[in-house]
Structure 1
Amino acid sequence: MLNSNVGPLEAQPLPSGLRPTLEAANQYQQTPRQQALARQWRIRMDAPLSRFIGDPIARQTLLTRVYQEARLANLPPELVLALIQVESAFKPDAISSAGAIGLMQIMPFWVSELGLPIDDLTHPPRNLRYGCTILAHYLAIEQGDFSRALARYNGSLGETWYPERVLHAWRDTWRQPPLL
């Protein structure tokens, strides 16, 4: 059953610190150790992503950005990949019947909540920044409950079908043991 206070097209009230958090992410720089960990992660994720993106340069570019944005938002990058798999099958120009746009299927109302009118949600780096920020916001609201945060993200709070799809993709495709 859907929460009557949360519709799929409604923005959730944002805490006063969310916009500064988004802006601060623009200033983030990785340490050499963080860069090495990111490189190892990209190597592990390259093979599963090749099912969706054939071009190795495009894969590495996307993996670099997903890792960076997920880490900035304190999210597991593999969860972000699972969400993208379910939402858009890694198609940056995807548009849903509800009007959600891009890799992470961001509803256009979020531009007025978080960004600038000129923000292009089909641009993968911008789409990932929005999507990770929104998911982290919902995860905070739901006190770390991935299922409820994912349901909020999808606008289906109270339903389990969407979180189950994302968590299934996360477990079966993206969670891989680290390289030794």
Structure 2
Amino acid sequence: MGAAFGTATGAVSLGFCRPALAGAQIEEPLIDSVRSALSAAIHNSAPPVPEFQDTQSRMAYLRWRVTMGEKLQKRIPTLIARTDFLQTLWYETKRAGLDISLVLGLIQVESNFRRWAISSAGARGYMQVMPFWTKAIGDGNPASLFHMQTNLRFGCVILRHYLDRERGDLFMALGRYNGSRGRSPYPDAVFANQRNWAFVDRQD
């Protein structure tokens, strides 16, 4: 979220040279529930553990995690890193009431799953979160955005915040997330990449 979608953003990352496709989120006042959700993530050090009401739901999650893990193997080579990423992403998307395939598509567009990606405007991590969000909750340390759960929590809560502001209009919410509200290239790219992460559980 550092320069408009489609421009050269010149991201810096460890071991990668591809730019992060980030936009220009606008700093704005936050309601208390959003502020509390962001603040809590900074203090959590371990990946959250999803909870399930029954065995069937848990097994469906595990099948999803195996399928997505296979797709992510080239992007996140280490098994434990993939598992932690998917477990955390599942938790945070469910917590925020978001479609997990959509968030995976957004991450692919924003950072191509590079934890250490930095845009030319300073947006950081998997979901390319701008440092001003850490200032909004009183922490102010941009390095915290490289912490996996913090980054995924911030990204999901921010997208949910924009979706609520746009009264459920996902096209406009994605535009806010990227700083290109009302223009189609960024939402179209996210929707196109979302299809890569669709999951159909064929278990009877």
TM-score range, shorter chain: 0.7 to 0.9
Q: How does 1:13-162 map to 2 (within 5 A)?
A: 13-22=29-38, 30-33=51-54, 35-114=58-137, 116-118=139-141, 120-162=144-186
TM-score normalized by structure 2?
Answer: 0.76
**CA distance in structure 1 between the aligned counterparts of 2:81 and 2:164, rounded to whole angstroms:** 31
Q: Kindly state the Cα deviation for residue 23 of structure 1 after the two structures are TM-superposed.
A: 5.5
Segments of 5+ residues of structure 2 without an aligned counterpart are: 5-22
Q: Does the C-alpha gap of structure 1 residues 29 and 49 become closer, same or farther in structure 2, counting only changes over 3 Å?
A: closer
Query: Contact conserved, 1:96 with 1:105, CA < 8 A, in 2?
Result: yes
Q: Which residue is equivalent to 2:13?
A: none
Q: Kindly state the Cα deviation for residue 147 of structure 1 after the two structures are TM-superposed.
A: 1.2
Query: Contact conserved, 1:151 with 1:162, CA < 8 A, in 2?
Result: yes
Q: Kindly state the Cα deviation for residue 22 of structure 1 after the two structures are TM-superposed.
A: 4.2
Q: Which residue is equivalent to 2:28?
A: 12
Give the residue type in structure 1 aligned to 2:144: D
Give the residue type in structure 2 aligned to 1:74: G
CA deviations over 1:1-44 (Å, ceiling 9, x no partner): x9xxxx92521332233223445777996235354443232122
Query: Contact conserved, 2:132 with 2:140, CA < 8 A, in 1?
Result: no
Q: Kindly state the Cα deviation for residue 111 of structure 1 after the two structures are TM-superposed.
A: 0.5
Segments of 5+ residues of structure 1 without an aligned counterpart are: none
Q: Kindly state the Cα deviation for residue 53 of structure 1 after the two structures are TM-superposed.
A: 1.7
**CA distance in structure 1 between the aligned counterparts of 2:182 and 2:162, rounded to whole angstroms:** 14
Aligned-residue CA RMSD in angstroms?
A: 2.5
TM-score normalized by structure 1?
Answer: 0.85
**CA distance in structure 1 between the aligned counterparts of 2:140 and 2:76, rounded to whole angstroms:** 30
Q: With a CA cutoff of 8 Å and minimum separation of 6, indicate the structure with the bigger relative contact order.
A: 2
Aligned pair count reads 174
Give the residue type in structure 2 aligned to 1:31: F
